[in-house]
């Protein structure tokens, strides 16, 4: 996250994430699934602007009419939780500029919630440490704590237990974001649990050593076959990306977005341009991004 002050406001740029590796280990008693995942932030950002309002008030505006600005929004939930846990009586107005596609496996809602905790911590001068904010974030959503340990981390449990990992090389990626979203619960419901889980040790080493070709070869997502069964276009887009010859390609999270991991910025530009000329270009959006550092 990138925080800055502008006059009486706090501005936060909240990045998307992709999963380079995601294994599902089993169902937990609390209803969630136990996972191991390697996540990295990428340069596609939502922007949140925080300003003071009347004591106790939380107001959210967003120009995307498909996004609820009510109490069910994770931004509002994060703000209310911060008030409750700290006893803070101050209020705020929040303006959200939404760029990260929703229901896309890019953690747009989770990064916005993390940005809200960080932004209001600064606006209200609460003085909480990142570890405290991450702990609060875990009560909002499984991916929220990750955004306090960027740019890359190994996440276990339901995803809320986070260990930062080193990144040797800045990754070049192309995101293919379909016009349709994937319901996370349905994807997890249809996942086939492995008898022998895939290890993520090799891809963690490759990331730490900056070996892009090896990272591409080791990309893995246990949820992708389940998503492909729910919507065959996921497999179609996977094949489309593979035909363009990147180092590797995979679905992010529970979908619907896929990404191509590229060997260079020039290769990413070539692949992004090819996708923009594809006959199906009205069915998806394309973003050329770099991994955050």
Catalytic residues: 17, 143
Name the DSSP letter for residue 182.
-
H or E element: which one contains 86? helix 74-86
Tokens representing 279? 């006959």
Q: Note whether 41 and 84 are within 8 A (CB).
A: no
Q: Which of helix, strand or coil describes residue 52?
A: strand
H or E segment and range at residue 243: helix 233-243
CA atoms within 13 A of residue 194's CA, in its CB half-sphere: 15
H or E element, residue 114? helix 108-123
Give counts: helices (H), strands (E), the chain.
Answer: 9, 12
- 216: which DSSP letter? H
């Amino acid at each position: 996250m990138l925080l800055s002050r502008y006059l009486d406001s706090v501005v936060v740029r909240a990045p998307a994430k992709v999963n380079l590796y995601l294994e599902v280990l089993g169902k937990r008693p609390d209803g969630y699934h136990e996972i191991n995942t390697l996540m990295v932030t990428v340069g596609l950002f939502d922007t949140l602007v925080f300003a003071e309002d009347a004591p106790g008030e939380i107001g959210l505006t967003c120009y995307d009419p498909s996004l609820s600005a009510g109490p069910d929004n994770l931004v509002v939930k994060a703000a209310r939780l911060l008030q409750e846990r700290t006893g803070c009586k101050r209020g705020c107005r929040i303006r959200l500029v939404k760029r990260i596609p929703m229901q896309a496996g890019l953690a747009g809602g989770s990064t916005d919630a993390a940005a809200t905790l960080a932004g209001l911590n600064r606006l209200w001068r609460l003085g909480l440490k990142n570890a405290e904010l991450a702990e609060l974030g875990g009560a909002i959503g499984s991916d929220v704590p990750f955004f306090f340990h960027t740019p890359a981390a190994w996440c276990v449990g339901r995803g809320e237990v986070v260990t930062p990992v080193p990144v040797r090389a800045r990754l070049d990626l192309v995101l293919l974001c379909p016009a349709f979203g994937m319901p996370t619960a349905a994807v997890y419901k249809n996942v086939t649990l492995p008898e022998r889980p895939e290890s993520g040790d090799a891809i963690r080493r490759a990331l730490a050593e900056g070996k892009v070709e090896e990272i591409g070869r080791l990309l893995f997502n246990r949820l992708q076959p389940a998503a492909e069964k729910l919507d065959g276009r996921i497999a179609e887009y996977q094949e489309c990306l593979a035909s363009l010859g990147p180092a590797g390609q995979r679905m992010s999270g529970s979908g619907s977005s896929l990404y191509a991991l590229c060997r260079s910025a020039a290769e990413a530009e070539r692949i992004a341009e090819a996708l923009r000329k594809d006959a199906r270009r009205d069915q998806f959006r394309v973003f050329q991004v770099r991994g955050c550092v």
